[in-house]
A and B are shown apart, each in its own frame.
Chain A
Amino acid sequence: MKIDLTDTTASKINKALVQGRRAIGTPAVGMVLTLVIVTDEENAYDALKAAGDASREHPSRTLVVIKRVSRSPRDRTTSRLDAEVRVGADAGTGETVVLRLYGEVSDHAQSVVLPLLLPDAPVVVWWPVNAPLDPANDPLGALAQRRVTDTYASEQPVRELSSRADAYTPGDTDLSWTRITPWRSMLAAALDQVVCEVKAVEVEGEEFNPSCELLAMWLADRLDVPVKRSLSSGPGLTAVRMDTDSGPITLDRADGSLATLSIQGQPDRAVALKRRETAELIAEELRRLDPDDTYASALRFGVERLSSVPAAAVRGAGAAQAAEAAVAKAVQAVALAEAAVAKAEETPASEASPESSTPSDSPAKGESAGASGQSEASGKSEPAGKSEASGEADEKEEAAAQEPLKKAAAK
């Protein structure tokens, strides 16, 4: 059953939901969570379809927030909310409300979403595209226990991983991470089969696929060995090679579905490692709603520590490692600063980078970030807190960058 509401409000939508449920004769609600999908018109259909499929495992109320583009100044001053309420067979196993926000109200989507959340049930926000840089401080993200982003869908996936690491708040998660669960599980199973010590790892996959970086970072974080990231033409991840003291272990998936696991001294085995649909990813994501510490730890390892330097340098003297880490952190800081100034075009990125390449300079950098944040704030009211937030992040970063130095000194 479908109810269309034009120029409406949240309370009218709530009424329509009750009315719809009554009409189809199932007033009882057994839904376990509210899933908020924030997207544009272009991606709404696919996202909604995936959410509908996932709702077979997790009956939920799905709220699709579509911010419409206003094309003329007059459009921008008017504000309108349209809603499409679907219950029963039209909405998977739960209920769906598609919200279209026009004009000013699109900057206040949380005011529409808040009254429509299920009482006492967890809230998950999913951005299929255009996720905010700091999901936890986004007005919609702040309503949620779990914030799902997808770096794979972004313009510069690998760089975005760094900003995800900087902004990480417990409850954040990314579909690029979800995509590699079968790989991680198979690699763990491979190490169940042989008692060995891993010396080095190579992760091979297509370019611009952050899953490869995440897998590499996870391996580096867990195994504490150098991990090299190399490129192939895909699809997706193609191979992981582990160099161990009892011979190489290779998990090779050339065709995107059936992989081969080779362990020295053991026969080659075929293992199913199919690339999964978005619906399956979302279903996995909704299975646990507690913070994913393993993701946090892998993410924070830092993309830059992966492949940029030859393996020997990382494994060598602690000093080299520390220096490398410091550089890596600095690069991250650049990324953050860049991100902050992205909208305030007058500050060129090249100016920010020499300042922040030395960790001791970070107050100055904090200022620059703050300044740009302010210049942005004059345009919009939303990022007022941003200058502060990025300043804080910088401080943390500085501390983090100095830690390896201390370690190196101890060594």
Chain B
Amino acid sequence: MPPFNVTEANPLRDAADRRLPRIAGPSGLVIFGVTGDLSRKKLMPAVYDLANRGLLPPGFSLVGFARREWANEDFAQEVHDAVKAHARTPFREEVWQQLIQGMRFVQGTFDDDDAFERLRSTIEELDKAQGTGGNFAFYLSVPPRSFPVVIQQLKKHGLADQTPSSWRRAVIEKPFGHDLKSAEELNKVVHEVFAPDQVFRIDHYLGKETVQNILALRFANTMFEPIWNRSFVDHVQITMAEDIGIGGRAGYYDGIGAARDVIQNHLLQLMALTAMEEPASFDADALAAEKTKVLGAVRLPKDLGRDTVFGQYAAGWQGGEKAVGYLQEEGIDPKSKTDTYAAVKLSVDNRRWAGVPFYLRTGKRLGRRVTEIAVVFQRAPHSPFDTTATEELGQNAIVIRVQPDEGVTVRFGSKVPGTSMEIRDVSMDFAYGESFTESSPEAYERLILDVLLGDSNLFPRTEEVELSWKILDPIEEYWDTHGKPAQYPSGTWGPVEADEMLAREGRSWRRP
């Protein structure tokens, strides 16, 4: 954990006093698009959970901005309902009483100048009434096309202006553009108004305990790092599977697809954390430097047709329910070429990983919802046992289970009890839910707190986003011009083409 960065002069703060939590300084959070799903299911409960854990400053203020005709009380009621339904920690009246004092709602559309004037006067009023000290974070939980207008409005009405004693921060959600060019444009728009170190890009995967644990696992222990290289690792599989379809998100999803939606941000970030070298320290700069280095060393396969697969789910049965195919979903063009499944083989051009393929796959309507990183090891170079004894022995593997059932599994061979020599795979499990129950905060809690503290460790930077697009753009271009998506029945583990892609190299996908 980084040292306290709040008011070092405070005599009551002491780095050795580890009971005192990292409390955010005086501040407030403004949420645009506060009526949305994300806001109700994740952001509001996260704010409450933070308050309940005593991590928010006294006088913390929450401002909602949306088109709906609400009074402050209606907004408070909405937050109340969302908190009751989705908060992780139990509802406590006194915490609620503390929060409710700083809740405001501003009604308006994004192009409405009056509304932004009202927002400004609300913020000024909160500075007086709640002592927020002019420190506000603007959370843009809005569709990407609205980014530029909201950002410009913030600038126009002086809402993004920092003074030496206060800060203004912007929090933006994925997608960060849909290709390199649009990402650069978006960055330009945002950075015109907010300084780069005041822009926080939320990749909620990075807020997950298990993802942070990748670094602990690799760099705090001695037993993994020595074998974490091409001499021992055969290949790495990174999977993020969803069992749901696109649901009501047709408008957003069609034309974007699985690779842009997931590989570009989540999977490439997971890959960077898995493959990067040890950072000099655990601060934001050192971490970003290593991630940037490894993302810069990622190479695409020579034959994109051979080593990438894109697919679409077809009608089928998923977990006992009948599911329609992607092309039959409401609001989808029946000729759509959008990928709901994507698998790519990447390599990392450095001494540690030369010749070790990284297989990344993601998809909707797959067998079950799971995200995991599997580091698969080479077989023992020599086996004193005869082949019948080791027939059932697979390759050793370390699997980092990101969600659900967070934890780490180690797979290795063990003798089956009995008189004959027979060796079979067994797994050894570490489960977060078992060793540290319930204490794991939600990713959004951690990330919102980090935004308020100004701690950018867990947020991808501009360079990382742009490098990721550089990796993905050629693949997307190839898919646009070559062939059409392979169909796979809903509820299975993807198209046969993906299995063939690995089978050609004598490997197979894990069933996660």
Contacts and interface: CB of A to CB of B under 8 A. Distances in A.
B434 A30 contact: yes
A107 B210 CA distance: 45
B94 A272 contact: yes
Contacts of B94: 257-258, 272-274
18 contacts: A30-B431, A31-B435, A93-B434, A181-B20, A184-B17, A185-B21, A185-B23, A191-B7, A192-B23, A192-B57, A193-B58, A195-B7, A222-B12, A223-B12, A267-B131, A292-B18, A292-B19, A293-B16
B415 interface: no
B51 interface: yes
Interface in B8-51: 9-14, 16-21, 23, 25-26, 51
Given A57-B436, A57-B437, A270-B97, A195 B23 contact: no
A134 B95 CA distance: 39
A281 to B, nearest CB: 11
A184 B19 contact: yes
A287 B52 CA distance: 17
Nearest to A224: B11
A181 B17 CA distance: 10
The list of the 9 closest CB pairs from A to B, nearest first, reads A30-B434, A188-B12, A294-B17, A272-B94, A272-B95, A258-B94, A266-B131, A269-B58, A257-B94
A271 interface: yes
B62 to A, nearest CB: 14
Given A182-B54, A192-B10, 4 more contacts: A189-B57, A192-B26, A258-B98, A284-B19
Given A193-B133, A269-B59, A198 B11 contact: yes
A122 B25 CA distance: 35
Contacts of B26: 192-193
A30 B98 contact: no
A227 to B, nearest CB: 13
A28 B9 CA distance: 48
A59 B58 contact: no
Contacts of B387: none
A159 B16 CA distance: 27
B128 interface: yes
Interface of A: 28, 30-32, 56-59, 93, 178, 181-182, 184-193, 195, 198, 219, 222-224, 257-258, 261, 263, 266-267, 269-274, 284, 287-288, 290, 292-294
Given A32-B436, A192-B10, A288-B18, A269 B23 contact: no
Contacts of B13: 188, 191-192
Contacts of B10: 188, 191-192
A258 B51 CA distance: 13
Interface string B428-462: 01110011111100000000000000000000000
B421 interface: no
Nearest to A197: B11
B511 interface: no
A364 to B, nearest CB: 38
A195 B165 CA distance: 12
Given A188-B10, A189-B58, A269 B131 contact: yes
A290 B436 CA distance: 17
B492 interface: no
A56 B438 contact: yes
B378 interface: no
Query: Which residue, of A28, A178, A219, A288, has the highest number of chain B Cβ atoms within 10 A?
Result: A28
A31 B436 CA distance: 9
B9 A195 contact: yes
Contacts of A258: 94, 97-98
Contacts of A294: 14, 16-17, 19
Contacts of B101: 269-270
Contacts of A272: 51-52, 54, 92, 94-95, 97-98
B6 A192 contact: yes
Contacts of B434: 30, 59, 93
Contacts of B54: 182, 185-186, 272
B9 to A, nearest CB: 7
Nearest to B18: A288
B51 A288 contact: no
B198 interface: no
Contact of B430 (A30, A198, A261, A270): A30
A191 B130 contact: no
Contacts of B58: 186, 189-190, 193, 261, 269-271
A269 B6 CA distance: 20
A258 B435 CA distance: 33
A267 B129 contact: yes
B97 A267 contact: no
Contacts of A224: 11
Nearest to B165: A195
A274 B285 CA distance: 39
A263 B131 contact: yes
Contacts of B11: 191, 198, 222-224
A93 B431 CA distance: 13
A3 to B, nearest CB: 22
Contacts of B52: 272
A182 B94 CA distance: 14
Given A59-B434, A258-B94, A181 B23 contact: no
A30 B435 contact: yes
B434 to A, nearest CB: 3
Counting chain B CB atoms within 10 Å of each CB, the highest count among A184, A188, A294 belongs to: A188
A56 B101 CA distance: 32
Residue among B9, B57, B58, B128 with the highest chain A CB neighbour number at 10 A: B58
A92 B478 CA distance: 55
A261 B95 CA distance: 14
A28 B426 CA distance: 13
Given A267-B130, A271-B58, A294-B16, A28 B429 contact: yes
Interface string B275-304: 000000000000000000000000000000
A315 B12 CA distance: 20
Nearest to B439: A57
Nearest to B12: A188
B16 A193 contact: no
A56 B438 CA distance: 7
A191 B11 CA distance: 8
Contacts of A93: 434, 437
Nearest to A283: B439
A58 B436 contact: yes
A344 to B, nearest CB: 39
A121 to B, nearest CB: 10
A184 B12 contact: yes
Contacts of B17: 184, 293-294
Give the most central of B12, B13, B26: most A CB within 10 Å.
B12
Contacts of B57: 189, 192-193
B131 A189 contact: no
Contacts of B9: 195
A224 B11 CA distance: 9
A74 B247 CA distance: 76
A222 B11 CA distance: 6
Nearest to B6: A192
Nearest to B95: A272
Interface in B381-437: 429-431, 434-437
B196 to A, nearest CB: 26
A263 B16 CA distance: 27
A192 B18 CA distance: 17
A34 to B, nearest CB: 14
A93 B17 CA distance: 29
Nearest to A251: B58
Contact of B25 (A192, A198, A274): A192
A136 B11 CA distance: 31
Contact of B437 (A56, A193, A219, A292): A56
A297 B57 CA distance: 26
A189 B23 contact: yes
A234 B467 CA distance: 60
Contacts of B98: 258, 269-272
Contacts of A186: 54, 58
